[in-house]
Structure 1
Amino acid sequence: MMTDPMGDMLTRIRNASRVRHGETRCPASKLKLAVAQVLTKEGFLEGVSTEEQGKKSELVMALRYDDFGKSMIDSIQRVSKPGRRIYVGAAEVASVRNGLGMSILSTSKGVMCDRDARAEKVGGEVICEVW
C-alpha cells in the first residue's frame, strides 16, 4: 500500500530527469494531473497526457531539457506530507529561491503556483517546491 502517492509522482519525475529519460509514467489522479499541468504551464515539463489501461489510467509526463541536455528541474521536493501537512495563509505565500523556483499550492480555487496564489490572494496546502 502506498502512503504518499504525490511523493511517489515527484520522485518518479526527479529520478527520470536525473537519468535523462524523455518521459515518465505514474498512476493518475485528479490532484496529480493538476500538479503536472501546473508544472507544464510553468515550463518544467514539456507536456502531460493520460492513457487508459483497462480500469486504470496513467499519467504520461514528457520531461523538458534545455539545448545542452540539462533538465529544467534541478530539484523537486515534497513539502506537505501525509504525516505533517503544511498550510500557509494568503499573506504567508513565499517565493522559492528568490523567484527562481516555485511552490505548488492546493487552494480553494484549485491547484496553482505561488505567483498565482499571491495574485489571487489565497493560501492553502503547500504540495511541493520546484527549482
Structure 2
Amino acid sequence: MYTDPIADYLTRIRNAQRAGHKVVDIPASNLKKEVTKVLFEQGYIRKYKFLEEGPQGVIKIALKYDKVSRKPAITKLVRVSKPGLRKYAKVKTVPRILNGLGVAILSTPKGVMTGKAARANNVGGEVLCYVY
C-alpha cells in the first residue's frame, strides 16, 4: 500500500485547525519543508520550525487564526495531483485560484513555488495543491 505524504501533510494541518490546535507536528521531508516555506511566505501559517528528531525530522507549524472570530487563516486545502493521477500545468495553464485570492502550489524544475511565481519565472510543473 502506498501512502501520499503531501495528502497526509495537508490532512494533518486541516485536522489541527478543525480541532483548534495552535501547533501541529508533521514528519519532515524536503518537499514538505518547501511547501511549508511557501505557506509561511503567503501568510497562511504563523511560523514554523524544522527539528532533527528521530530518523527523518519533524516540522512544527504554528497555525494562524483570526484574533476576533478565531477562524483559521486557511479556509480550504485541496490536494490536486495524486499518486494515481498526476496533474501538470504549462506556464499558460497555471491555475488562478479565486481570481488571485487563493494560491496554487506547484513543484517546478526551479523548486516549489506559487502559481503566480511560476508564471513570473516562465515555468510550469506539477500542481500539488490549492490553498485559500
Report the TM-score range of the alignment, normalised by the length of the smaller protein. over 0.9
Instruction: Give deviations 1:56-104, integer Å, cap 9, x for gaps.
Output: 3111111011222111000001000000000000110121011111110
Residue identity in the other structure for 2:131: V
Q: Distance in 1 between matches of 2:7 and 2:53?
A: 22
The residue aligned with 1:60 is 60
Number of matched residues? Answer: 131
Q: How does 1:1-131 map to 2 (within 5 A)?
A: 3-68=3-68, 69-131=70-132
Instruction: Give deviations 1:29-67, integer Å, cap 9, x for gaps.
Output: 000000010000000011111122233311111101122
Q: Secondary structure at the match of 2:57?
A: strand
Cα shift at 1:14: 0.7
TM-score between both structures, scaled by the size of structure 2: 0.95
Q: Distance in 2 between matches of 1:19 and 1:2?
A: 27
Change (3 A) 1:2 1:51: farther
Residue identity in the other structure for 1:82: P
5+ residue gaps, structure 1: none
Residue identity in the other structure for 1:20: G
Contact 2:29 2:56 in 1 (8 A): no
Q: Distance in 1 between matches of 2:95 and 2:79?
A: 16
Q: Distance in 2 between matches of 1:80 and 1:91?
A: 18
Task: Give the percent of matched residue pairs that are identical in Structure 1 and Structure 2.
Answer: 47
Residue identity in the other structure for 1:88: A
TM-score between both structures, scaled by the size of structure 1: 0.95
